[in-house]
C-alpha cells in the first residue's frame, strides 16, 4: 500500500479535510486506537503506513504521538530509585543465616490458625463474629446466674420470669405429649378403616386440647397466686374509714 | 558474572553472591515500593521485607529471565498486604517533588540534567493525576517494563484486558502531559 503514489499532485490538505468532513469524518479516533502500537513499533506494515500518512497532515495527532514517545523515553527512568547508602547493609543484616535460621524450608503454619487469621482479615467476617458475640452476650444476660450461697430477694420481675418459664415448660410438655399421641392415632387414617375412625380421632384431639387448656389455665392461676401477694405487699391498699350508715336506712 | 551463574551461587548459599544480587535489584524493588506507597521510609521497610521474603524462598528462585518479574510480583503483593493492614488505600502518589532526587541522574551535562529533571518532574506530576488503575498499569508496564502477559498474570486479568488498560493509561498520561505543557 503506497499512499504517496495514490495522492494526486493537486491534492491539498484542506480539500482532504473538507471531503472527510462530508464523508467519514476525521480519522483521529482510529489513530488513537493504533497510536500506542505505532510508537511501540508493533503495528503491522499496512497500518503503520496509514498512520504515517495521517500524521503527515494532522498536527493534533502528531502532538499525541510525540508525547507518547516522550513518555516512553522518560518513564523507565522512574523504575530504579536509590534507597539510601545503608540499605544494602541493613538487608544483609536481616538476611544473615543467624537472623533467618529457617532460610530454606519454612515450617508450615498451623492451618487452623492461618485460616482463622485469614478469615478475620475479612471485614465482613469480623463484623459477623462481633454480631454473633453480641447476640450471645444478650441471650446469656437473659438467663439467671447460678445460685449464690445467699439467696437474693425475690423481686416481682424475677418471680414473673420464673413462673412464666415454668408455665411455658408445662405447655411445651403438654404439646409434646399431644404430638406423640397424635402420631399414635395416625394409623387410623390408613384406608380400610371403618368410617367412624375420623370422628374418634377428632373427639380425642378435642379432649387433649381441652386438657392442655386446663393445664395452661392452672399454670396461669398459680402464677397469679404467687404474684399477687408480692404486689399487694409492695403496694398495700389504702384502708378506707368505715362509713356511717345512710340516714334513710336508719 | 552471568546472571544464571550468580543465581546458582545464591542458591548454594554464597553470601557474596547474595549481596551482589541485592545490590543489583534493590533499586528496582525500592522504586516499585516507593511508587506504590509514596513514603520513602515505608518503601525502604517494605523493600527490606521483600528481600527477607526472597531469601526465605531461595530454593524456589526462578531462572534469570523470570527473576525480576518474580521479585516485582512479591513487592507488589507485599504492598497490597501493607494497604490491607492499613485498611485503606492512601494517596499513593503523595510524593513530594523534592523527593525526586531519588531518581538516578545519568546526564553528564548539568544543563541537560536540569532540563531532564524538569521534564521528569512534569511527568511525575502527570502520573500523580492519573487514576489508581491507570497509574498501576503505567507503573508495571512502562516504568518497570513488565510484559503484558506478566502483568495479566500478576493482576489476574485476561491479556486483552491488560492490553486495553495499558493503552488507555498511556493515552490518559499523554493528555495530562499535553495539559502540563511538556515539550515533545
Quick: pLDDT tens for B91-147: 455 555 455 555 444 445 666 666 777 777 888 888 888 888 899 999 999 999 999
Displacement of CA B170 from its chain's centroid (Å): 16
Residue with cell 491488560: B162
B interface mutation test: which of A40, A80, A96, A117 has the most B CBs within 10 A? A80
Query: At residue B10, does pLDDT exceed 80?
Result: yes
- pTM equals 0.55
**What grid cell was written down for A82?**
536509590
Per the CB < 8 Å rule, is A74 touching B120?
yes
pLDDT at A238: 47
The residue among B134, B132, B124 whose CA lies nearest residue A78 is B124
The chain-wide mean pLDDT, for chain B, equals 83
- Distance between the two ends of chain A, CA-based, in angstroms? 137
* Cell numbers for A94: 536481616
> What confidence score (pLDDT) does residue A4 get?
46
Contacts of B35 in chain A (CB under 8 A): 78
Q: Are A103 and A97 in contact (CB under 8 A)?
A: yes
| Average pLDDT for chain A | 73
Write out chain A residues lying below 8 Å of B116, CB-based: 74
Minimum mean pLDDT range among A85-89, A228-232, B110-114 = A228-232
Q: How many CB atoms lie within 10 A of CB B167?
A: 17
Amino acid at each position: 500500500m503506497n499512499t504517496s503514489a495514490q495522492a494526486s499532485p493537486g491534492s491539498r490538505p484542506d480539500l482532504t479535510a473538507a471531503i472527510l468532513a462530508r464523508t467519514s469524518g476525521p480519522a483521529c479516533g482510529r489513530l488513537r486506537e493504533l497510536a500506542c502500537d505505532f510508537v511501540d513499533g508493533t503495528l503491522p506494515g499496512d497500518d503503520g503506513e496509514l498512520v504515517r500518512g495521517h500524521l503527515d497532515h494532522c498536527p493534533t495527532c502528531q502532538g499525541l504521538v510525540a508525547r507518547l514517545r516522550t513518555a516512553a523515553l522518560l518513564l523507565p527512568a522512574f523504575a530504579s530509585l536509590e534507597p539510601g547508602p545503608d540499605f544494602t547493609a541493613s538487608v544483609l543484616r536481616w538476611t544473615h543465616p543467624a537472623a533467618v535460621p529457617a532460610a530454606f524450608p519454612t515450617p508450615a503454619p498451623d492451618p487452623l490458625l492461618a485460616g482463622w487469621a485469614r478469615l478475620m482479615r475479612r471485614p465482613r467476617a469480623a463484623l459477623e463474629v462481633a454480631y454473633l458475640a453480641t447476640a450471645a452476650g444478650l441471650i446469656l444476660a437473659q438467663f439467671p446466674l447460678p445460685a449464690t450461697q445467699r439467696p437474693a430477694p425475690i423481686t416481682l420481675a424475677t418471680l414473673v420470669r420464673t413462673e412464666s418459664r415454668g408455665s411455658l415448660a408445662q405447655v411445651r410438655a403438654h404439646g409434646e405429649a399431644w404430638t406423640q399421641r397424635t402420631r399414635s392415632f395416625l394409623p387410623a387414617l390408613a384406608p380400610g378403616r371403618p368410617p367412624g375412625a375420623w370422628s374418634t380421632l377428632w373427639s380425642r384431639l378435642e379432649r387433649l386440647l381441652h386438657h392442655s387448656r386446663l393445664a395452661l389455665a392452672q399454670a396461669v392461676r398459680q402464677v397469679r397466686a404467687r404474684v399477687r401477694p408480692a404486689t399487694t405487699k409492695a403496694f398495700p391498699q389504702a384502708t378506707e374509714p368505715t362509713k356511717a350508715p345512710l340516714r334513710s336506712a336508719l | 558474572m552471568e546472571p544464571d551463574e550468580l543465581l546458582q551461587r545464591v542458591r548454594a548459599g554464597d553470601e557474596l553472591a547474595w549481596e551482589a544480587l541485592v545490590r543489583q535489584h534493590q533499586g528496582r524493588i525500592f522504586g516499585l515500593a516507593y511508587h506504590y506507597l509514596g513514603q520513602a521510609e515505608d518503601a525502604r521497610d517494605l523493600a527490606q521485607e521483600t528481600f527477607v521474603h526472597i531469601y526465605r524462598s531461595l530454593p524456589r528462585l526462578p531462572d534469570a529471565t523470570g527473576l525480576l518479574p518474580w521479585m516485582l510480583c512479591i513487592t507488589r503483593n507485599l504492598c497490597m498486604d501493607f494497604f490491607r493492614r492499613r485498611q485503606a488505600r492512601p494517596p499513593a502518589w503523595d510524593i513530594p517533588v523534592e523527593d525526586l532526587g531519588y531518581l538516578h541522574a545519568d546526564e553528564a551535562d548539568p544543563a541537560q540534567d536540569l532540563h531532564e529533571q524538569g521534564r521528569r518532574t512534569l511527568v511525575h506530576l502527570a502520573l500523580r493525576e492519573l487514576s489508581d488503575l491507570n497509574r498501576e498499569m503505567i507503573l508495571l508496564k512502562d516504568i518497570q517494563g513488565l510484559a503484558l502477559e506478566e502483568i495479566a498474570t500478576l493482576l489476574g486479568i485476561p491479556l486483552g484486558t491488560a492490553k486495553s488498560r495499558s493503552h488507555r493509561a498511556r493515552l490518559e498520561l499523554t493528555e495530562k502531559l499535553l495539559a502540563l505543557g511538556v515539550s515533545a
